[in-house]
Structure 1
Amino acid sequence: MAQPKTPGVFIQEVTSFPNSIVEVETAVPAFIGYTEIAADGARSLHRTPFRLSSLTEYKAHFGGAPVTQFEFGPMPDDWSAQTSFVLQEPGTSALGADTDSHVAHARYYLYYALRLFFANGGGPCYIVSVGSYDNAITKDDLQAGLDLLTEQPDATMIVIADTMSLSRQDAEAIQRATLSHCADLASCVAILDVFAGSSGLSENDPIGNFRSGIGLVGLDYGAAYYPWLATFIVEFEDITIAFLTANARGTLLDRLNDFVAKRPDAPTLKNFVRDLGLAPASQPAAPALRQAAHHALQAIVPFYQSLMLALQSAVNLLPPSGAIAGVYARTDFTRGVFKAPAGVDISSVVKPAVALSDADVQDLNLPLDGKAVNAIRAFPGRGVLVWGARTLNGNSEDTRYVSVRRTLIMFEQSIKQALQSFALEPNTPATWSAVASEIDNFLINQWKAGALFGATPVQAFSVTVGLGTSMSHDDVANGVLKVIVSVALVRPAEFISLSFEQMVQPP
């Protein structure tokens, strides 16, 4: 207070509590990929990280869903009794097969990943649009989007589902780059999909391929999930022949004509087939006629109904990274970042694409090289659950668990931001005491919330700052202030052992 210079009463408020450290956000993923549009009014959002909080906002700035088109695999000539269909993306073998022949421009996953994110409890996120649905999916585009996040420190998770439409080698390159990016920034984690993750473990060895291609850098900053998910993001009412390529539509119309030619009501049915094949610009009423024909043929032609169901299943087969990001966000909100995002259900999912046994999960969870892949399993009465909580560095005693790594990131970034205010302050015991007090109060609150292990704060953490403890005379003389923070983080109860004894009645 200034020195009083006139008679009177003067009031000076005394601060009772030290400054507090604010916990940084922990559940803000960045989705990198391709969108229908990218605009904020007249401003282009191409390769510009943009924060939003709802699907409505996304559609306003980035448009809607892509129309994924499929073609037929090997099929018989007569479809009259056909109940199942082999569908494949153009230029690939049967859907789900890993032939390393995925072509660019095959499928755009960002929109569906975002839908799964919001369906599972997601909130704020960043969208990095690197191109439109008219562009081929390339490694260079996705790498450019990743590089943009260097200046976005509040993005705490990275999801790049569109890597699954690259070749396996290019997908692995982007995933390695993502892990390296997260390790360099030390402020985010990568949620990774397994390439060809709809394939069974014995079909094309997707897990072995993933582990051999993921590299060795930044493994504790990433977590992978298997298998892919059969979802119901795209509803049956939205499935039409628009999801077939032009060649496939031609084949379908031929088979429909073959079928209706044998029917007594052939003239009427032929009109439906004709209307179904109308080009969009052929006449103003074409959309309405196609829609009416579509519904009529579903009711009359058995294989047409089966085909629409097969198309719905194919479109809804999605990599899990978007859903997992939502699970992370939901767990952080309901329990805290220290709670492992596992043992919880995944919404908008029918089933995992591959059913896993206990033996399968053991191999995924405890490989010799430590590159754990978290399983997704279906349990009767419980739904589809995330059944793994490990990072890719499963052999590390410190950071083998996702929750531990993410809690450390939260502690480090929260304390780092708070200590910015002490830059250029005198490097004296008064400053050291203020620093220690702020960190102590922050960690006490975290201990009370359940993030730290210990019956008392002394058992849960320690903060050391001062001459002769964390700093030398040279440090002080050179303007260096060092703080040593030790924490006892909680870890998930991954293995629960039960012992039973049967009481025998005495004779």
Structure 2
Amino acid sequence: MPTYMTPGIYIEEVATGAKRIMPVGTSTAAFLGEAPYADAYLNEPVAINNPSQFIRKFTKQDSPGTDLARAVMGFFANGGSRCYVLNVGSGNPIAGDPRRREGIAALETVDEAKIIAAPGYADPLSYEAIITHCEKMGDRFAILDAPAEVDDIDLLKKVCTSGSLSDGEQSGEKSGLRARETVSAAYYFPWIEAPDPFDPKKIVRTPPSGHVAGIYARTDARRGVHKAPANEVVRGALDLVYKVTREEQGELNRAGVNCIRFFPDAGIRVWGARTLAGESSEWRYINVRRLFNMIEESIDAGTRWVVFEPNDARSWKTIERNVRAFLTTVWRDGALKGDSPEKAFFVKCDEETNPPDVIDAGRLVTEIGIAPVKPAEFIIFRIGQWIGGAGTEEAAAGGGQTESEGG
């Protein structure tokens, strides 16, 4: 409290209590793999903002193309604007030796990265390493590649076991070709065929994760993280290693395998938007999981000022007001259900959520409920014959009907 001695006018600036919560970024990717110059920045995450920067830092003259290089180029070609590259050197599974585990651990220091991929690494150990990293960090999502060649696509529906794996399991012979169930990853099949960025005249098989990560970034920028990154053209893809049929995708989609399909009138598109959480999970859609990741981290960062503040009604009301304002903005962006904020979310922080025993334990509890929008995965048109001029009820009662499905 200032001391006033001389009569006069005094102006004081006071805090209004409004501390805006800003949405965190969601489109920065991190790619792990073997760089064309295998010794460049080994196990060191390097920020890359354009293809030329990647070439300067991770290639030498006459460097051969690698899955990592093709993925990074595919990321930028499909709308990505910033990524981190972690060169793990040459070798087998990412988790196969201690140096590679050190490389993955180094990503923990890169708070900006929200999309994680290891282009071309399609073995249970690598899957497990990437998934475990994303689950540990809590704000990241993994894009996993299927193997380059799949003789029996039924194996894609089998879930790999985690933990200790035998030699046969590591190769996928016993445990299938898919990663374990998780809410923190999506799985894509098949690989694409695209020009080699280091020799455009050469068409090579390319893991789709880099291109898909670019599509995530492109969708985030154009529509928002709440929009499913699907029904999007894969830029740079000339063909597919395997042509998935409509019937095959029906089974794969239920198993959480996102297919990349070719349509004669629409080109090569990502045609799936599911996580590996399982068909019955409330987290089965990629955009729902990533939306919650964004909201949770944004609230975390935007309310850090509350730590060690008095645990009283004034703090409760300030938190409630700030979170409500943030979620109202998210609702206005189209990410939440309902025609009003009251139908889209609720925020509760009062004496009911913070009774004396909770306060004595040093805790301040806020309850938040969110109703996310979910993608229209199956589009159904019911069509029947109609007797011209008849009422709606008569028309609905007459004729057969057909259904058309899309996703």
TM > 0.5? yes
Candidates 171, 190, 212, aligned match of 2:142: 190
- 2:85 is matched with which residue: 124, 127, 145? 127
The amino acid that maps onto 1:121 is G
Q: 16-25 vs 220-229, which deviates more? A: 16-25
Q: Which residue of 2 aligns with 1:482?
A: 365
Deviation, 1:117, is: 0.3
Counterpart of 1:384 in structure 2: which amino acid? I
1:67 is aligned to 2:64: yes
Quote the residue 2:297 is aligned against.
Answer: 413
If asked which structure has higher relative contact order (CA below 8 Å, sep 6+), I would say 1
Matches for 1:364-443 after TM superposition, within 5 Å: 364-367=252-255, 372-443=256-327
C-alpha separation between the residues in 2 aligned to 1:506 and 1:34?
Answer: 68
Moved over 6 A (4+): none
**Structure 1 residue 235 displacement after superposition:** 7.4
Which residue matches 1:152? 110
Work out the CA distance in 2 between the residues paired with 1:7 and 1:471: 45
Q: How does 1:255-334 map to 2 (within 5 A)?
A: 312-313=202-203, 316-334=204-222
Report the residue type matching 2:32 in the other structure.
I
Calculate the aligned-residue CA RMSD, in Å. 2.4
Shift in CA distance, 376/162, structure 1 to aligned 2, threshold 3 Å: closer
Q: Distance in 1 between matches of 2:17 and 2:359?
A: 27
* CA-to-aligned-CA distance 1:309-352 (integer Å, 9 cap, x gap): xxx23xx2111000000000000000000000001111001122
2:310 is equivalent to residue 361 of structure 1? no
* Residue 130 (structure 2) aligns with: 178
Residue 172 of structure 1 and its aligned partner are, at CA, apart by 1.0
Say which one has the larger Rg.
1
Question: In the aligned structure 2, how far is the partner of 1:362 from the partner of 1:471?
Answer: 48
Kept in 2, the 8 Å contact 1:345–1:383? The answer is yes
TM-score by length of 1: 0.69
The equivalent residue for 2:399 is none
**Aligned in 2, Cα 1:150/1:235: closer, same or farther, shift over 3 Å?**
closer
Matched, 1:207 2:170: no
Contact map agreement 2:192 2:207 (CA 8 A) in 1: yes
SS at match of 2:88: strand
Summarize the alignment of residues 1-150 of structure 1 with structure 2, pairs less than 5 Å apart.
2-13=2-13, 18-37=18-37, 45-63=41-59, 66-67=63-64, 108-131=66-89, 135-138=90-93, 139-140=96-97, 141-150=99-108
Give the equivalent residue in structure 1 for 2:163. Answer: none
Residue 344 of structure 1 aligns with which residue? 232
Q: CA deviation at 1:233?
A: 4.0
Q: Which has the higher helix share?
A: 1
Distance, in Å, in 1 between the alignment partners of 2:79 and 2:55 is 18
Matched to 1:55, the amino acid is P
Stretches of structure 1 lacking an aligned partner (at least 5 in a row): 69-107, 165-170, 240-311
Kindly provide the amino acid, as one letter, of the partner of residue 152 in structure 1. Answer: V
2:186 to 223, 234, 238: 223
Q: Secondary structure at the match of 1:163?
A: coil
What TM-score, normalized to structure 2? 0.85
Conserved? CA contact 2:37–2:63, under 8 Å: no
Aligned to 2:386: 503
Aligned length: 371
Contact persistence 2:44–2:106 (CA under 8 A): yes
